[in-house]
Structure 1
Amino acid sequence: MAKKKKVPSPCIDVCKFRREGHCIGCSMTKPQKKMFKALKKPEHQEAFVVMLRHQQSDMGKYTHWTEAYLKKCAKKGVKPPFAA
């Protein structure tokens, strides 16, 4: 059985923490960024990205993220953890 590829970080290299400590690029807080880096199992990383999409939806103003993250996944040859 082939090993699952690592899920790319949800970070899209904007890294400006405003909006009550949330990045304006990906919506993660600094503790969330640290938490994602600590996740080792692809299924945990996928669940984190799905949770993050819900967070972005609740907060609003993150419509640009999906396109940027899909490009990042394609570049790394990884299937995104959500349906586009």
Structure 2
Amino acid sequence: MPKKMPSPCIGVCKFRREGHCIGCSMTKTQKKMYKTLKKPAFQRAFVDFLIHQQAAMGRFTHWAPAYLRKCRKKGAVPPAALE
């Protein structure tokens, strides 16, 4: 059984940029939504969506290395798009 994906939050939590966090690009609603996702496949799909959102918004190059460290620390397999 795949390990639970850690939250995409990297602990910055400053909501600017039209309500998006400057650390991970999630809105407050998206952060709440992620917490409700129980199946690893849904969590992984959400993180993939977030990667695309960050690419569209720009200026989130700091997130991927921080999230990779978080995944490795928790023993979760990071999304293929980050490796």
For the superposition of Structure 1 and Structure 2, which TM-score range results when normalised by the shorter chain? over 0.9
- For 2:79 and 2:36, the matched residues in 1 are separated by 18
Superposition TM-score, scaled by structure 1 size: 0.95
Tell me the amino acid that sits aligned with residue 6 of structure 1: K
What's the Cα RMSD here? 0.7
Identity of aligned residues (%): 70
Give, in angstroms, the shift of residue 15 of structure 1: 0.1
Q: Which runs of 5+ in 2 are unaligned?
A: none
Aligned pairs for 1:1-84 within 5 A: 3-83=1-81, 84=83
Superposition TM-score, scaled by structure 2 size: 0.96
Q: How many residues are matched?
A: 82
Higher Cα Rg: structure 1 or 2?
1
Q: Which runs of 4+ in 1 moved over 6 A?
A: none
1:10-67 C-alpha deviation (Å, 9 max, x unpaired): 0000000000000000000000000000000000000000000000000000000000
Q: Which runs of 5+ in 1 are unaligned?
A: none
